[in-house]
Amino acid sequence: MRKQFLIEQIRTKKSYLCVGLDTDPALIPPHLLEQEDPIFAFNKAIIDATLEHCVAYKINTAFYESHGLEGWRAMEKTVNYIPTTHFKIADAKRGDIGNTSTQYAKAFLQQLPFDSITIAPYMGEDSVKPFLQFEGKWAIVLGLTSNPGAADFELQDLKTESKRLYELVISKVATWGTTDNLMFVVGATRSDEFINLRKLVPNHFFLVPGVGAQGGSLEEISQKAMNKDVGLLVNVSRDIIYTSKDTDFAQKAGDKALQYATQMRSYL
């Protein structure tokens, strides 16, 4: 998906909501477990109920890979079911030496119809560049994450650079691609850093997880991180998809997605 089309979808829907499909059979409504493919049955119902309120879906591949071949098939059916009007994210956090990254890129950006894949940049430029070679596809690089462990490395001061590690990573990675094929993951619980982040990369899109169950503030993110193109995909997973475990689960998910979209509309 090209950047301008994504921006148009956001402006048309007045929403920058991304629904996370972190589908766990232990958490889905029990009646779905009788289905031939419970994971896909759940995802299909969630997608149908939330489609008009969001612009993107993020599939966390760990929740599918952990079920072996059946899980992979459910993921493939899910990504194929999502229409091309919606930005499709493989949250796979890949990143390895160049020839290996090339194969990861082919798997998710050619073999599967994802628009993007999340990347761990620790191994440097040659591990990221292969994901930037596909027309209309995106690399979404981990920038500043929400988890407590971010303090171990990302938030450490670099005495020789007079900056923190995450600032060095984002500034350097931004030179490897463009605003048309490169985004950054920034956790919602790091709202105090968004103003600084926008100084580093004013025109890039941010994928922002951590709103909802993790406690991130949609209002703070929108006020501090939005740019002229909106520049945000705010992901909500558990707070939408697990709103109910009864037969009305899809309707309740749609209602919750509408709540988020309505709040977003007030910030645009």
The catalytic residues are 93
β-bridge mates for residue 20, sequence order: 58
Sign of CA dihedral 160, 162, 166, 167: negative
For β-strands 205-208 and 157-158, DSSP reports them as unpaired
Instruction: Let me know: does 231 contact 223? Beta carbons within 8 Å.
Output: no
List, in order, residues 6 or more apart from 206 with CB less than 8 Å away: 143, 183, 184, 185, 186, 197, 225, 231, 232, 233
Instruction: Let me know: does 249 contact 243? Beta carbons within 8 Å.
Output: yes
In degrees and rounded to multiples of 5, residue 37 shows phi and psi of -130, 85
β-bridge mates for residue 157, sequence order: 164
β-bridge mates for residue 236, sequence order: 19
**Displacement of CA 261 from its chain's centroid (Å):** 16
Total number of residues shown for the chain = 268
